[in-house]
Amino acid sequence: MLKKEVLNKMNEQINLEHFSSNLYLSMSSWCKAQGLNGAASFLETHSSEELGHMYKLFKYINETGSQAIVGALDAPDYQFKDIKDVFERTYKHEQFITNKINELVELTLAQKDYATFNFLQWYVSEQHEEEALFKGILDKMSIIGLEGRGLHMIDKEIGTLVRK
């Protein structure tokens, strides 16, 4: 059974992972509408990864004998300036999620909940990977540029980053 404070924050994290999934799905749809098929496919896959992050929390909470809660979600944005805007926002969003995970980790330590602390280490590593992934995409955009064939090259490049 989780302590109340930890449970509440874990349930908040479920909500955040669910929102992340919807945000990336919405971004994927925008990319597809612009003919950016590589980015659309990458973001669609990433959206389902976020659902995986949500289910993992869900399962863990229920295994402890506590109750995971499916909360209400805000609608994600669906209009973006350009592909750079999309990926700047993904990077910023992942940095926000990293902060939330760090807060959770700190709380489990303060509450001496070492099992949940241990469980959360997977998320700590995952956030490190995701920040690096999105930062890498932004760096490529800066190097290649989005003018002329640059946009096509970037889109193709992002399409190759789909994690199997």
Site residues (CB under 6 A) for ligand FEO? 17, 20, 50, 53, 94, 97, 130
CA atoms within 13 A on the CB side of 81: 6
Closest approach of ligand FEO to the CB of residue 77, in Å = 16
**Could you tell me how far CA 54 lies from the centroid of its own chain?**
10
Using the minimum distance from each CB to ligand FEO, give the nearer residue, 90 or 108: 90
Closest approach of ligand FEO to the CB of residue 96, in Å = 10
Closest CA to 7 of 63, 74, 52: 63
Q: Answer for the pair 78, 90: CB distance below 8 angstroms, yes or no.
A: no
Closest approach of ligand FEO to the CB of residue 55, in Å = 11
Structure tokens at 130: 């995701």
Closest approach of ligand FEO to the CB of residue 153, in Å = 25
Closest CA to 137 of 96, 91, 92: 91
Query: Which residue's C-beta sits nearest to ligand FEO?
Result: 53
Q: Answer for the pair 83, 146: CB distance below 8 angstroms, yes or no.
A: yes
Using the minimum distance from each CB to ligand FEO, give the nearer residue, 58 or 151: 58
Using the minimum distance from each CB to ligand FEO, give the nearer residue, 23 or 141: 23
Using the minimum distance from each CB to ligand FEO, give the nearer residue, 17 or 155: 17
